[in-house]
Amino acid sequence: MIRLAVRVSGDDAAGVVLAELLALSPAGVEEREVDGGVEYVIYGAAGELPALPALQAAVGDGLVDVTSAEIADDWDERWKTWHRPITVSAGARRLRVRPPWEPAQAGHVDVVIDPAQAFGTGAHATTRLCLELLLMLEPQGAVADWGCGTGVLAIAAAMLGFAPVSAVDFDPLALTATADNARANGVSLASARVNLREEPGPFAATVCANLLRPLLLDAARLMTQAPQSLIASGLLREEADEIVAAFAFHGLAERERRHCEQWSALLLTRGG
């Protein structure tokens, strides 16, 4: 197994690098904070990933360091140490997202997500921010998760009491992972393959859109009916104002903005 790591310094560079690595490995990108920036990592068998020497290059406003290395045969067990439970809360509500090998804890809404299947385990800053904003809303009415990944947001919404819940993604692996994780958590949701670059996402009273900036701009351009509440993330801090302006055209106004690391998330509502 080959481990390809790209260490990034600079917010502009981070968005470019993440998009490129997701194109190489749509099934998953590992992210961790390092001194002076962030490191993105993808894994693949020999021949699946580009053969790159150690190098440094300028991307956007920052530098990237690229390294590749063979990893030990027991990687399929050791990688589990990277996936730890995360807990988010809002008022009295507490929600915990954990991989299946971690035990449940009392007093939390317990969401079990298998991180081996697709990108999105709940640990990424943008997912945590979306969950925080979701917990702020009263759990009533329909929810649509645009770009569902492993279904973290859709499953959390269903377990909090929102209904009906739908989840869409363009990647068939993501839809399979979402369906598997929904069954594991004992919740029911509808899923469908949707190309959010070319068609509007399904309408719901509450929409969760944890997408990168270009997809959010496409979603705003294609939207035909505005939700009552829209949670938008996948944004670098300096991109948030642009997304607020894009959805303002549909009568959605900023109610809450949260930051974590270099990322931002927005809660937009009709009527402010």
- Return the pLDDT at 18: 75
Give me the DSSP letters along 173-236: HHHHHHHHHHHHHT---EEEE--TTTSPPPP-SEEEEE--HHHHHHHHHH-SS--SEEEEEEEE
* Residues pairing with 69 in the sheet: 3
CA separation for the pair 205, 189 (Å, rounded): 15
- Return the pLDDT at 15: 72
Q: What is the pLDDT of residues 248-265, one digit of tens each?
A: 999 999 999 999 888 999
Structure tokens at 64: 């990237």
- Return the pLDDT at 167: 97
- Return the pLDDT at 47: 65
- Return the pLDDT at 195: 95
Q: What is the pLDDT of residues 179-200, one digit of tens each?
A: 999 999 999 999 999 999 999 9
- Return the pLDDT at 46: 65
- Return the pLDDT at 112: 93
Q: What residue ranges of the chain have pLDDT lower than 70?
A: 1, 10-13, 23-28, 45-53, 58-62, 71-83, 116-122, 272
Contacts of 219 (CB under 8 A, 6+ apart): 146, 196, 200, 201, 209, 211
Q: Where are the alpha helices (DSSP H) in 69-124?
A: 75-78
What domains are there in the chain, each with its CATH number?
2-78 (3.30.70), 83-270 (3.40.50.150)
